[in-house]
Amino acid sequence: MRDVSLWRAVLGVDKTVVERVEYDTAGQVVVAHVRPTARARGRCGVCRRRCPRYDGGEGRRRWRALDLGTVRVVLEADAPRVRCREHAVVVAAVPWARHGAGHTYPFDATVAWLATTASKSAVTQLMRIAWRTVGAIIERVWADVEAGTDRLAGIRRIGIDEVSYKRRHKYLMVVVDHDTNRLLWAAPGRDKATLSGFFELLGPGRCSEITHVSADGMPFIEAVVAAYCPDAVRVADPFHVVKWATDALDRVRQASWAEARRLARTEPARPRGGPPADAPPRPQTERAKALKGCRFALWKNPEDLTRRQREQLAWVAATDPQVHRAYLLKEGLRLIFQMPLERASPALDRWIGWARRSRIPAFVKLQRSIVVQREKILAAIEHGLSNGLVESTNTKIRLITRMAYGFSSPQSLIALALLSLGGHRPTLPGRT
């Protein structure tokens, strides 16, 4: 065939003979008939060792390649089987695609890059594949990254966390590296056995090199860390401590909202259609509505508030002293993590006293947990694990879990999270 090297470059294939290329008008697809070069032929699909041919397998097969302009492209080739000493009868390896994959290497690489960069609908529409297929592709791309790198070498300071997915019914255990701010590992589950899997993977030598472990104080995590890294300094996870305070604040807001709703029921109902000009005011109804709407204003960091949210906050300060005090308690605790240790230590004690006397049940209760965690909270500040990086990794993992609805397996979700946050972000094929 003419222009063989042109077609090899255009299709992004290597160690491949392009026999001929045709345009299938009915299917509106370019079909490139290919075969492996002599050196790449007759190899086990799993280990790539040279093996004797077994049979012709199921005949011709197709692999989706990257589109040419707006036209879909497939590679078509024989898919014979070989008999491997180790892997028995398997389909022979092809140099243009991973074993068992229905897409070429450049196609897989493009999908992996897109999945870590663009929205779900952008990936599925541009590549013309289902989100399920995206999941399968990123799983195999991640498996190759993992096989080719030693990501767990030299880790010293780690954070352990649980992340919910599938609308909060299922959990992943995740481990992040505080020094590089990378996601190191994740697995489905929320128990001792799941977390032990990480330390077993690490092995005793590397476990003994871990100097600091942050966690949210769950007893089962404490037990596993004590068993595998008895000498590591245990610190509180600032992200969780602040989240406890945010949750306590939300309980106070909800209680105030429920009270306003109860009182609102005694106010006169309004007829359908807009209220008449002389309608009596309904202050509790308005209050309930405003309390419902201010949730995000209370939850966000003050520096990130929009103008409207700043107004909502001012309204809370003026009309609901208890919710406003709860807000100040939450913010006070958050700010302690931004202080140097010598200021943070007395500030934390003052905060505990303030919360204890607040007469707000949610914060009196939170204060008790803070007393229990006091040393670990101060250790987090002392060892510099209190920065916003920990929080941002947590937030990003949570965003990925939301994107991952619709994946059929948690392994796809884990692969997407590790590709995005594991320090080995995919690159587009053919770029350096």
Q: Given the rule CB under 5 A, which residues bind Zn ion?
A: 44, 46-47, 84, 86-87
Q: What is the nearest approach in angstroms of Zn ion to the Cβ of residue 104?
A: 22
Residue 24 β-bridge partners = 29
Q: Which is nearer to Zn ion, 51 or 172 (CB)?
A: 51
Amino acid in position 152: L
What tokens appear for 408 in the block? Answer: 């059929």
Q: Which is nearer to Zn ion, 50 or 156 (CB)?
A: 50
Closest CA to 389 of 117, 107, 182: 182
In DSSP notation, 277-304 reads TTPPP-HHHHHHHHHHHTHHHHHS-GGG
Q: Is-contact 176 158, C-beta < 8 A? A: yes
Torsion of CA 353, 357, 358, 362, to 10 degrees: 80
Q: What is the nearest approach in angstroms of Zn ion to the Cβ of residue 79?
A: 16
Q: Which is nearer to Zn ion, 11 or 92 (CB)?
A: 92
Q: Which is nearer to Zn ion, 47 or 317 (CB)?
A: 47
**Residue indicated by tokens 């419902």:** 292
Q: What is the nearest approach in angstroms of Zn ion to the Cβ of residue 86?
A: 5
Q: What is the nearest approach in angstroms of Zn ion to the Cβ of residue 415?
A: 24
Q: What is the nearest approach in angstroms of Zn ion to the Cβ of residue 46?
A: 4
Q: Which is nearer to Zn ion, 47 or 347 (CB)?
A: 47
Q: Which is nearer to Zn ion, 91 or 418 (CB)?
A: 91
Q: Which is nearer to Zn ion, 87 or 192 (CB)?
A: 87
In angstroms, rounded to a whole number, what is the distance separating the alpha carbons of residues 186 and 420? 13
Q: Which is nearer to Zn ion, 46 or 371 (CB)?
A: 46
In angstroms, rounded to a whole number, what is the distance separating the alpha carbons of residues 56 and 89? 12
Q: What is the nearest approach in angstroms of Zn ion to the Cβ of residue 89?
A: 10
Q: What is the nearest approach in angstroms of Zn ion to the Cβ of residue 181?
A: 38
What tokens appear for 329 in the block? Answer: 């308690």
- Cα angle 309, 312, 313 (rounded to 5 degrees) comes to 90
What tokens appear for 146 in the block? Answer: 């993992």
Amino acid in position 124: T
Q: Is-contact 276 346, C-beta < 8 A? A: no
Three-state SS at 75: strand
How many CA within 13 A on the CB side of residue 182? 16
Q: What is the nearest approach in angstroms of Zn ion to the Cβ of residue 154?
A: 32
What tokens appear for 45 in the block? Answer: 């699909």
